[in-house]
Structures are given as structure tokens and as C-alpha cells.
Amino acid sequence: MSAFTPGRHVLQTPGPTNLPDRVLRAMDRNAINHRGPEFGRLGLSVIGKLRPVFGTEGLIGIYPSSGTGAWEAAFANTLQPGDRILISRTGQFAHLWEEMARRFGLDAVALETDWRRGADPAVIGQVLDDDREHRIKAVCVVHSETSTSCLSDVAAVRDAMDRAGHPALLMVDAISSLGCIDYRHDAWRVDVTVAGSQKGLMTPPGLAFTAVSAKALAVSRAGGARRSYWDWEPLVRANETGFFPYTPAINLLWALEAALDQLAEEGLDAVYARHQRYAEATRRAAAAWGLDLQCQDPAAYAPGVTAIRVPEGHSADRLRAVILERFDMSLGNGLGRVEDRVFRIGHMGDLGVLQLTGALTGVEMGLAAAGIPHQPGGVLAAMRHLTESNA
């Protein structure tokens, strides 16, 4: 192989996602005084511009951390060791969140799934119904389980909690759904929503977000665990002033502002429709190849990523290695229980139609190059859908 690979690397991972040029440009400037007036305006601006994406008029916190930090903040602010939580084991990210809960000393009650569907609101409702003493303090759901490409129905989980008349907090990991699909923190009465910068929000890794309901904030003020850096209280002040108690990730916030401007310019409804269209095109490609989707519930297909299974006896990791070496494209790997069983095509964030067909072309060539049994014609099926759905 030559030491030089021409053309752009094709980044088709479900986070980090491609950065729009305007996002790159927005960061490319000197830092500013984070105690000066220009920063205050930036802080308020990004919080304001995040509101329609989260669907909230309440507290929006920003941390200089990866999304995992906002997970930790959610637990630290509202729960104490020994508190019981309910979490649906929908995939690797739910698993990691559950592991974090255990490290916090929480009593995590896990609802098993086969990693091929979303959380089951009926089962959650049943467990809450049975919890007459209201020992469960929080219900945790991963909205888009990036490891399986299954979406959970947050509104239905809320309904199940309401029907059970249960006071637990509803905590949602929306890290790979925010900016990809309509999200309504207030309308669904989510108590804590956790998100990150590097997926649907098209911003470099390094920012975590959290939306917090008045109820969760009250719980936090009355208790929670020991915390300092992750405390929500300074974020309340930041929402009023635009200033943070520590040095914020100034240049990343400029990047975020540019990304949010781009989302607004395209229009959120158009952004969400585009994600559905790309996801459907990708699934049609998989169907034409004769490969199974990891997600087995059509009502739960994720908008921003599609996990595809390789046939028994074949290696998804080897397929990805071949695609990287021969066609210079990065795909998402199988995580945890589905390691080497699936590969994941990210189609979230800043992506044009021909970037998507190009990525699918790389997969189809890779399937052939890696000797994975499949039918040709996946790209053609995707092209047909992309053409017909853009009339």
C-alpha cells in the first residue's frame, strides 16, 4: 500500500460524526476571556439554541466532558448509595450506565432484553405497579441504543410510569438521538436528559449536555450524593448569566453554536425527516444484501445508526478492517455482546445524499472483498429509495 491515501477519509461511525466546515471554521480563532462580556453572550446563545433541540424551557447544563460525564451528574445529583433504579438492558450503553450505577452503590434492577428491540414500556409499568412502596427512585432508558440501533419509546415509558402512578424520576440517555429525531424533554416530562456533542449535534467530542426538570432539580437540592464538579447548581446560574464556574470549553462552544445554527437553517423537521430517509435507505441496502438488521422491531429502528449482522461464521471486525484498508472508511464496531457480530453504519449528523450512497458503496465493495456471502444490489436499492423519497 502507498504511504499516502488520496481523498477524504470516510467517517461513518455513529459518533464522532462529520464536522460541517462552518463548525471547523467557528473554532479556528483565539480563545477569549471566559469572564468577559463576549463569553456571557456565547453561553446564553448556545443554551437558547439548544432549547428547541431538547424541547425544553427548563435547565440546560453544559459540561466540558464526554456524554458519560452527564450520566454521572444525573446519578450524583439525585440519588444516594442504596437507592434503587430500574434500567432496561437494551444494549452496551445501557449496560455501561448500569455498571456506573453499581459503582455508585445504587441498587440497579435491570430488565433483560435480547438487544434487538427497545425498552418495553409494559414491563416497566408492571415493575412499577408492583413497587407499592415506591422504592424505585429512577427509571433509566437509553433513547437510541447506539450499539443495537434500536430506539426506545420515551413517551410510552412516561405513560407507563403515569399509569402506575409512580413518582420515580425518568432519566433518558439521548446521546445519539438528539438532533436526529424529535425529542421533547418537557412534553414527555423527562426529568433528566443526557446528551453529548459528537453525534447528531455535529460538534467535536468534548461537551456533555443535560436537561433537568424542576422536579429533578428539587430532588437534587434536597439530597443526592456528594458531588462538586458535577453539581447542577452552578448550571442554574449559568442559565441565567451565560458564565460557568470553571473554564468552559470556549472553542467547542463556538463550534456548537455554528452547528446549532446549521440545524436551525435546515429546519429541525427537515433534519429529522432526512435522518429517517437515510435510515430507511440504509435498511433497504441491508435487505437487498440479504443481511439481517440487529434491530428486529420495525417500530424501533433508530434514525442515526443501523447495526447490520454478518452471517454466522463470518467476522464483522474483519469486514471493517478490509473496508478501512481498501476503501478508507471507518464504520462502527460491534460492542459487548455483539462484538464481531455486527457492523454499524452511522448516518447521523452532517451528511449529504451522495456521502451516504458512497458509504453504502464502500460497504458493498467491502462485503465482496471480505468474502461475506451477500446479494449485490444494496446500493441500488438505497439509491432508488433516496430518489423516490426526494420527489
Q: In this chain, which stretch among 173-181, 229-237, 319-327, 370-378 interacts with ligand PLP, using CB under 6 A?
A: 173-181
Give the nearer residue to ligand PLP in terms of CB position, either 146 or 282: 146
Q: Whole-number minimum distance, CB 279 to ligand PLP, in Å?
A: 15
Asked if 148 touches ligand PLP (CB under 6 A), the answer is no
Sequence-separated (6 or more) residues with CB below 8 Å from residue 147: 91, 92, 93, 115, 307, 334, 335, 336, 338, 344
Asked if 11 touches ligand PLP (CB under 6 A), the answer is no
Judged by CB under 6 A, the residue of 173, 191, 350, 364 near ligand PLP is: 173
Residues 218, 130: Cα–Cα separation, whole Å: 26
- The contact pattern for ligand PLP, residues 196-215, with x = CB under 6 A and - = no contact, is x-------------------
Judged by CB under 6 A, the residue of 17, 56, 88, 176 near ligand PLP is: 176
Instruction: Determine the Cα angle at 167 with ends 163 and 171, to 5°.
Output: 95
Per-residue cell: 73: 451528574
Give the nearer residue to ligand PLP in terms of CB position, either 20 or 69: 69
Give the nearer residue to ligand PLP in terms of CB position, either 209 or 232: 209
Q: Tell me the longest C-alpha to C-alpha distance in the chain.
A: 67
Give the nearer residue to ligand PLP in terms of CB position, either 68 or 330: 68
* Chain-centroid distance, C-alpha 346: 11
Give the nearer residue to ligand PLP in terms of CB position, either 180 or 381: 180
Enumerate the H helices of the chain as residue ranges: 21-27, 37-54, 67-78, 92-103, 121-130, 154-163, 214-222, 233-241, 250-266, 268-289, 316-327, 353-369, 378-388
Q: Whole-number minimum distance, CB 376 to ligand PLP, in Å?
A: 31
Site for ligand PLP in 90-109 (CB under 6 A): 93
Instruction: Determine the Cα angle at 203 with ends 198 and 204, to 5°.
Output: 70
Give the nearer residue to ligand PLP in terms of CB position, either 77 or 146: 146
Q: Whole-number minimum distance, CB 304 to ligand PLP, in Å?
A: 9
Site for ligand PLP in 301-360 (CB under 6 A): none
Q: Whole-number minimum distance, CB 65 to ligand PLP, in Å?
A: 8
- The contact pattern for ligand PLP, residues 44-83, with x = CB under 6 A and - = no contact, is ----------------------xxx---------------
Site for ligand PLP in 226-245 (CB under 6 A): none
Q: Whole-number minimum distance, CB 15 to ligand PLP, in Å?
A: 5
Asked if 146 touches ligand PLP (CB under 6 A), the answer is yes
Enumerate the H helices of 86-232 as residue ranges: 92-103, 121-130, 154-163, 214-222
Judged by CB under 6 A, the residue of 19, 175, 201, 256 near ligand PLP is: 175
Q: In this chain, which stretch among 54-62, 171-179, 254-262, 340-348 interacts with ligand PLP, using CB under 6 A?
A: 171-179
Per-state percent for the chain, helix, strand, coil, to nearest 5: 45, 15, 40
- What SS3 class is residue 185? coil
The DSSP call for residue 299 is: G
The DSSP call for residue 312 is: T
Amino acid at 247: T
- What SS3 class is residue 86? strand
Q: Whole-number minimum distance, CB 269 to ligand PLP, in Å?
A: 23
Residue with cell 449536555: 209
Sequence-separated (6 or more) residues with CB below 8 Å from residue 390: 277, 353
Q: Both ends of the chain: CA-CA distance in Å?
A: 42
Judged by CB under 6 A, the residue of 15, 58, 118, 332 near ligand PLP is: 15
Give the nearer residue to ligand PLP in terms of CB position, either 121 or 196: 196
Residues 344, 352: Cα–Cα separation, whole Å: 18
Q: Whole-number minimum distance, CB 96 to ligand PLP, in Å?
A: 7
Give the interface with ligand PLP as residue ranges (CB under 6 A).
15, 66-68, 93, 142, 146, 173, 175-176, 196
